[in-house]
Structure 1
């Protein structure tokens, strides 16, 4: 009996730990901002205060733009980063695994070594490159520097390396060239892994803060993460209910992506362990 109750107790405790901050944010969005500032927020939502979600979505808070625009920028940035990383990493991993050319592994290890450089180290040189290309305050400058991914290349290399050699020989006997083998065999067999990586990269792109803060000073390019920070004003009273409402709205797209792709996400992770 105890052996069955203990896992359930741990699961309930974990659920409370993860869900409580979200519940507080939802409840706080329906409260008066002054009550939150005084620390007198109730733990039950005020049913008449749910209109703040529509208000902040269309109008934003003082000093910020509408949240719907920030959500669109964040979604576009996350999609561009996720799809771009996958589009760049698949050919690079494919070349390393299936082609034999001089310094093949040297090129791979040079790509791998970039994992040792944190984003903060690359900020200044990357900003200088974007500035010289006149890509500051542009959607291209917001996304392109974050597309290259040594992590995705490494994961795809490990996935492609598990494909049996018989597939390569069969494709050669059927007269399939490298591109046909890639699109007709490798990518379909790696679809679950690609879907799992897409979910991870989408959430990664959605949560970006430091690079958008540096490269995009145009308010029309503010992501929802930047918008939340701008709502917390130093020279004015913070509208905490709108901050919490925006935080809740910012959770919806990544959670929706995870839920919609949950089956492929789990399948991709479990196949990657084989």
Structure 2
């Protein structure tokens, strides 16, 4: 028997389609603008059908720039985002594992000290962090871009909550079988954390990719600029006419890596979020 759902389902789908259109329309306009010529953009009406300048505009976007080619800025952003993501996950999962499975003095004090860092605004931490990075000579370097941002209280908290759901009998059985802490971590804890790691990977990759203030502070050499910085620099601040097709092509290239990460990891991402709420 076919269930009659009524008009409520129809209005729900219409609302979802309208919301999707509102989100996708600006992206579509940016894509179309990246495939046409400059006169077609500045002359109304704005085109809504892709043009024939796709290869020319994207080639110009990749190999040209204000001071650094866009491909180099994309590479810098990729190195920074992956370094921050992998570093945050590695440090957080090891920290949470130590807090849950090792008994040492003041372990909960250390956990809450880590958690309290969430209450400190970035503006409070950024000046002393800059002084430390400058003191170690890490300005204009990948280590300076990555290392100050690889600690994550949120990820540590999420991993701790996950580990607390693992039955004590499982750890006891592994101990009886002769598995030490390292083997138990690698053979049991890591596989059980796979979906949570995937969910955090997506969130933290986007966080690292979108960083603007920190790279702006510690990079003075153009070859260390990230793509987010490049988007600001490629728009002229004077009365010069902006090359909008190339600017829009650069914006589309800047959006591509995070979108691909979400697409390829969406199943694990959703599964990890659902398991985190249990």
TM-score by length of 1: 0.94
**From 66, 71, 74, the counterpart of 1:68:** 71
Once the two structures are superposed, the pairs formed by residues 1-274 of structure 1 within 5 Å of their partners are: 1-33=6-38, 36-37=41-42, 40-48=45-53, 50-60=55-65, 63-235=66-238, 236-274=240-278
Taking the aligned partners of 1:111 and 1:246, their CA distance within structure 2 comes to 38
2:3 alignment counterpart: none
CA contact (8 A) 1:81 1:146 kept: yes
Task: Count matched residues.
Answer: 272
Name the CA shift for 1:136/1:199 in 2 (closer, same or farther; >3 Å).
same
Indicate conservation of the 8 Å contact 1:213/1:226, yes or no. yes
- Per-residue Cα deviation, 1:20-41 (whole angstroms, up to 9, x for no partner): 1101111122333355456653
- 1:40-90, CA deviations, whole angstroms, 9 ceiling, x for partnerless residues? 532333224552012211223xx2322111111111110000000011111
Distance 1:217 1:260 in 2: 34
Distance 2:22 2:157 in 1: 33
Distance in 1 (alpha carbons) for counterparts of 2:161 and 2:249: 41
More displaced, 165-174 or 26-35?
Answer: 26-35
Shift of 1:158: 0.9
Contact kept? 2:37, 2:53, Cα under 8 Å: no
RMSD of aligned C-alpha atoms?
1.5
Write out the 4+ residue segments of structure 1 that deviate beyond 6 Å after TM superposition: none
What's the secondary structure of 2:203's corresponding residue? helix
* Superposed displacement of residue 237, structure 1: 2.6
In structure 2, list runs of 5 or more residues that go unmatched.
1-5
Cα distance, 1:40–1:167 mapped onto 2, change above 3 Å: same
TM-score, normalised with respect to structure 2: 0.93
